[in-house]
């Protein structure tokens, strides 16, 4: 029993289960970028991609790490007589390689989309049975990333091996092109993707499609709660629905292969600022890709300052690559004076020995919440150095860029002399190693071995801290 406990502690703390090296050398940290689907759906064009890329660059988001510009569904007009995919000439008058060249010249990477089915989800030609031809098409057009969907799969699912083989065909085809192409599975977690995803891909969607609601249930996204093996993924999944499904899966993700909780809804729909902060923090903490889903030309200043919060991105890009674990989850009844809903506590190890923690309030009113070292270091053995040390508490949102600065960056289309983090100049890894203060938030107190960390967490909100051993 004791030995078993020791092993499971070690596995959880070090991320052993998910730490096999990347199958193709890519995805050493979760991918960051922009994808058109959440805001523009099928309304895609060369102009949208190039304008968006310019804007991402001008307002400093590229230098924060958002380097993949991903074109989702609806770009094609069919196949030529010899079977090659053809880009829609009205939407992409100069072809896809023109888009790729423009992006590459501006230090972006280019993502495209297809489906492991007869058609894509919006009914365009899919790649099932055309894997090698289509992989050649993507490689020869300078594509660096493939999002590979699951619609119209001709019933080829229902057992892990069936789905694995269908997705492996494209993995092999991409490898055969010789071009490094990040492979992002979009099979919605069907057939337990977390068990086999990292053998053939760099990330895998683990749920149905997200929508900009924090907790609202929707019958089109069944399986609420911890149901990680949802047979019907659906869509209109709330942020808390997806997070709860992802909770047990962190143990199977790690360097080279990540759980993808879907594109970010920050700046999309009517989420509150607290909801957007909680959403962004949790996606960062479980090491989901950080893919902007908003129209960056219409971004609110508050949403901009969320996307640009480098101390949160540094959690996501931490070199250890271990997704945080949910330590507890409670349902609060309607009779509770602080409102009803669910509350959670999450904790995860970071490369330099720090620990990231989240007190998450899914309830409908602000509430006092607390935690202690026993919960924070839930896997540590009694008497361990973690439990007997004092820890300084850094609030990861306290040094957020103020609204006036964000507004001026958006209006002037330039970072100007604002001190936005620049990961092109100093990578997150090096910035963390150098203790760059912008990556560490602001110290707000400390916690001793027998102390209690008390805070008030807003409705649908988060308290998000980095703990550093007190000197």
Question: Applying CB under 6 A, which residues contact ligand GLA?
Answer: 37, 72-73, 120-122, 149, 186, 209
Closest contact distance (angstroms) between CB of 455 and ligand GLA is 35
Nearest approach, Cβ of residue 38 and ligand GLA (Å): 8
Which residue in the list 63, 72, 134, 209 is annotated as catalytic?
A: 209
Q: Which of residues 73 and 213 has its CB atom nearest to ligand GLA in the complex?
A: 73
- Say which DSSP state 264 is in: B
Q: How far is the CB of 122 from ligand GLA (least distance, A)?
A: 4
Strand-pair partners of 335 = none
The CA–CA distances, whole Å, from 20 to 10, 77, 155 equal: 15, 39, 31
Pick between residue 36 and residue 251 the one whose CB is nearest to ligand GLA: 36
Q: How far is the CB of 93 from ligand GLA (least distance, A)?
A: 22
Q: Cα–Cα distances in Å, from 25 out to 13, 147, 415?
A: 24, 17, 33
CB of 127 to ligand GLA, least distance (A): 14
Which CB sits closer to ligand GLA, 189 or 431?
189
Q: Which residue is it, tokens 């069919």?
A: 78
Q: Which is nearer to ligand GLA, 30 or 321 (CB)?
A: 30
Q: Minimal CB distance to ligand GLA: which residue? A: 121
Query: Cα(209)–Cα(205) distance, rounded to whole angstroms?
Result: 9
Shortest Cβ distance from residue 182 to ligand GLA (Å)?
16
309 is written with which tokens?
A: 């919060």
Closer residue to ligand GLA in complex, CB, 256/289: 289
Q: Rounded distance, CA 12 to CA 5, Å?
A: 10
- The C-alpha R_g of the chain, in whole angstroms, comes to 22
316 Cβ contact partners less than 8 Å away, ≥ 6 residues apart: 29, 30, 32, 283, 284, 285, 287, 288, 290
Please check whether residue 275 is in contact with residue 214, taking contact to mean a CB–CB distance below 8 angstroms.
Answer: yes
Residue 261 or 285 with smaller CB distance to ligand GLA:
261
Minimal distance, residue 338 CB to ligand GLA, in Å:
36
DSSP state string for 69-125: EE--S--EEEE-TTS-EEE-TTT-TT-HHHHHHHHHHTT-EEEEEEESSSB-TTSSB
Reading phi first (left if > 0) and then psi (alpha if -120 to 50, else beta), residue 222 is in: beta
Q: Measured from the CB atom, is 40 or 378 closer to ligand GLA?
A: 40
Active site residue 209: yes
Place of tokens 């009517």: 270
Which residue is catalytic, options 72, 73, 149, 260? 149
Task: Return the number of other C-beta atoms located less than 10 Å from residue 241's C-beta.
Answer: 28
Catalytic residues: 149, 209
């Amino acid at each position: 029993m004791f030995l078993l406990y020791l092993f499971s502690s070690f596995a959880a703390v070090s991320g052993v289960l998910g730490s096999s090296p990347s199958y193709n050398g890519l995805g050493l940290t979760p991918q960051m970028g922009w994808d058109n689907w959440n805001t523009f759906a099928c309304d895609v064009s060369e102009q949208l991609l190039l304008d968006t890329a310019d804007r991402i660059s001008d307002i400093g988001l590229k230098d924060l790490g958002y380097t993949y510009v991903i074109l989702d569904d609806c770009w094609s007009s069919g196949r030529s007589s010899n079977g090659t995919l053809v880009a829609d000439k009205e939407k992409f008058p100069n072809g896809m390689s023109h888009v790729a060249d423009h992006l590459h010249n501006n230090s972006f990477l280019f993502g495209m989309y297809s489906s492991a089915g007869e058609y894509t989800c919006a009914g365009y030609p899919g790649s099932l049975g055309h894997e090698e031809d289509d992989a050649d098409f993507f490689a020869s057009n300078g594509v660096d990333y493939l999002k590979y969907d699951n619609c119209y799969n001709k019933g080829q699912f229902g057992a892990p091996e069936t789905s694995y083989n269908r997705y492996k065909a494209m993995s092999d085809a991409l490898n055969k092109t010789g071009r490094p192409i990040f492979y992002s599975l979009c099979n919605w977690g069907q057939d337990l993707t977390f068990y086999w995803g990292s053998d053939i891909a760099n990330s895998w969607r683990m749920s149905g499609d997200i929508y900009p609601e924090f907790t609202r249930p929707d019958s089109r996204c069944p399986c609420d709660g911890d149901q990680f093996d949802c047979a019907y993924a659906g869509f209109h999944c709330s942020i808390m629905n997806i997070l709860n499904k992802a909770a047990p899966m962190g143990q199977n993700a790690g360097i080279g292969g990540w759980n993808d909780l879907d594109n970010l809804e920050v700046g999309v729909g009517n989420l509150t600022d607290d909801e957007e902060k909680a959403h962004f923090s949790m996606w960062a903490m479980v090491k989901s890709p950080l893919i902007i889903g908003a129209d960056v030309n219409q971004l609110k200043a508050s949403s901009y300052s969320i996307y640009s919060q480098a101390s949160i991105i540094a959690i996501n890009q931490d070199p250890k690559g271990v997704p945080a674990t949910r330590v507890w989850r409670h349902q609060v009844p309607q009779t509770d004076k602080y409102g009803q809903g669910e509350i959670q506590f999450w904790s995860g190890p970071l490369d330099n020995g720090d620990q990231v923690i989240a007190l998450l309030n899914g309830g409908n009113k602000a509430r006092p919440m607390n935690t202690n070292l026993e919960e924070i270091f839930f896997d540590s053995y009694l008497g361990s150095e973690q439990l007997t040390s004092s820890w300084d508490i850094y609030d990861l949102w306290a040094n957020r860029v103020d609204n006036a600065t964000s507004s001026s960056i958006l209006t002037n289309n330039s970072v100007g002399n604002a001190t936005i983090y620049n990961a092109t100049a100093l990578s997150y890894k090096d910035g963390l190693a150098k203790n760059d203060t912008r990556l560490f938030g602001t110290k707000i107190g400390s916690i001793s071995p027998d102390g209690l960390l008390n805070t008030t967490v807003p409705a649908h909100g988060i308290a998000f801290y980095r703990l550093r051993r007190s000197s």
